[in-house]
Amino acid sequence: MNNIVVGLDLGTSFVRAVIGEVLDDNRVEIIGIAQKPSTGLRNGVIVNRESAMDCIKNCIEEAEQKAGYEVLSCVTAIGGLQIESVNSTGLVAIATHGKGPREINRSDIERVLDAANAVNIPMDRKMLHVIPQNYIVDDQTSYKNPLGTIAVRLSAEVHIVTASKTAIANITQCIERSGYRLDNVMLKTLAGMHAVMAQDERELGSVLIDLGGGTTDVIVINKDAPICTVSIPVGGKLVTNDISIVKGVSPATAEQIKIQSGCCWLGLIETDDEVIIPGAGGRDPEVSSRTEICQIIEPRMREIFSMVKDQIVNRANTTLAGNIILTGGGALMPGAVQLAEDVFGTTAVRLGIPGDFGGLQEEYRKPDYATAVGLVVGSINQLGGEGASDFKRREEKSSSKGSAWSRFLKKFF
């Protein structure tokens, strides 16, 4: 099989590329990464194809220089309002008429998954993932893998994720016209899960919140399977817009202020440093403070977390005992963890730092790289290497290489 995988994260604020190499012992090593400011994308949707194509090409070429490979294909992620999900159940007979129970074989598992997939999907949507949550043998026992079990009938509970055909077609065409083949499209939060969520967190029940620039995407994992996916059409750009309006500065200046002086938890501000607000149109600069900037940012970030909490309470009809994990560029905001703890009423909140996959650790072990790294790791885990990208070696290689959370949810279910 090919041993190079390229993950391409097309975000509202940044495009990120991560190149991973599958070693002989099936471990993944990150050998090249790059990040470029997004152009031609808004809320995860391509709005200017030419600009997006240039951004994609420049980002992948920079990652190629670090990795020493020229890649020909990639995998990417999709999220936002283009995504919908539903849980479904299928049932098939194992014992035929006049015969007793028998062992469940692979064909039976395929049949029951096909039965669970038999849902009405609109013509403008494409089935992206069908993920088994649980198998039930003879209405009595739950199995993760019922293969070989003697049974009369078999049921399967699955989580189905669909995406807009138009959105996928636009992404595919944009990547192909940039000079690369698109091998696979993965749900954004599912990719992030592969990068940052530990196995015990998946079993206990955890929530991954991807705080993007244009959208906030959420996935709830329980018993090692997704039970619901949610997208909220607000993100970090709305915080930037608030600063821009209140302080009367351009969005670009507001973004700089947010990055350099922003905080969303007032308790973290120990010294109230001055913040110089440039004057627009020849107006004199204004002197503000970190406290005042925080008072603009915190209400909007609190609103985003509150919207996520409402969606989880309404849709995830189960008790969770794991963690809330924050990823995406918004997770880099000082105070994001503390604010989430306050909104959700739990201390079981942490930043989603991608695992140690060797190579350029100091560059990719950040919450905003969770999706891109997860695309690489998830492609290997889900497809056993078959999703690896085409590549060829460059002639010159670059020299660089809980419990409180559970109690909170119990109040609602």
Q: For the chain, how big is the Rg over CA atoms in Å?
A: 23
- Kindly report, residue by residue over 64-99, the tens digit of the pLDDT: 999 998 899 999 999 988 999 999 999 999 987 767
Query: 361 or 312: which carries more pLDDT confidence?
Result: 312
Query: 396 or 381: which carries more pLDDT confidence?
Result: 381
Q: Is it the case that residue 396 has pLDDT exceeding 60?
A: no
- d(Cα 329, Cα 304) in Å, to the nearest integer? 14
Q: Is 202 exposed, middle or buried (0-12, 13-18, 19+ CB in 10 A)?
A: middle
- Kindly report, residue by residue over 150-187, the tens digit of the pLDDT: 999 999 999 999 999 999 999 999 999 999 999 999 99
Q: Is it the case that residue 398 has pLDDT exceeding 60?
A: no
Residues 6+ apart with CB under 8 A from 382: none
Any idea what DSSP says for residue 389? B
- d(Cα 116, Cα 84) in Å, to the nearest integer? 17
Closest CA to 115 of 138, 100, 135, 144: 135
Query: Residue 239 CB: number of other CB atoms within 10 A?
Result: 27
- d(Cα 195, Cα 374) in Å, to the nearest integer? 4
pLDDT band at 382 (very low <50, low <70, confident <90, very high): low
Per the CB < 8 A criterion, the answer to whether 220 and 320 are in contact is: yes
- d(Cα 244, Cα 240) in Å, to the nearest integer? 6
* ∠ CA 304-341-43, rounded to 5°: 25
Q: pTM of the predicted model, to two decimals? A: 0.89
Q: Output the average pLDDT for the chain.
A: 87
pLDDT of residue 385: 42
Query: 400 or 166: which carries more pLDDT confidence?
Result: 166
pLDDT band at 27 (very low <50, low <70, confident <90, very high): confident
pLDDT band at 413 (very low <50, low <70, confident <90, very high): very low
Closest CA to 4 of 49, 68, 58: 68
Dihedral, 185, 377, 34, 67 alpha carbons, nearest 10: -120
Query: Residue 412 CB: number of other CB atoms within 10 A?
Result: 12
The CA distances from residue 359 to 28, 32, 370, in Å, are 10, 8, 16
Least confident of 53-57, 92-96, 280-284, 320-324: 280-284
- Kindly report, residue by residue over 121-149, the tens digit of the pLDDT: 899 999 999 999 999 999 777 788 899 88
- d(Cα 371, Cα 208) in Å, to the nearest integer? 11
Any idea what DSSP says for residue 266? G
Closest CA to 408 of 305, 327, 329, 332: 305
Which of 199-203, 314-318, 356-360 has the largest mean confidence?
199-203
Query: 351 or 271: which carries more pLDDT confidence?
Result: 351
pLDDT of residue 392: 53
The CA distances from residue 198 to 22, 92, 112, 117, 201, in Å, are 20, 33, 29, 28, 5
pLDDT band at 390 (very low <50, low <70, confident <90, very high): low
Which of 36-45, 378-387, 393-402 has the largest mean confidence?
36-45
β-bridge partners, 92: 154
pLDDT of residue 391: 54
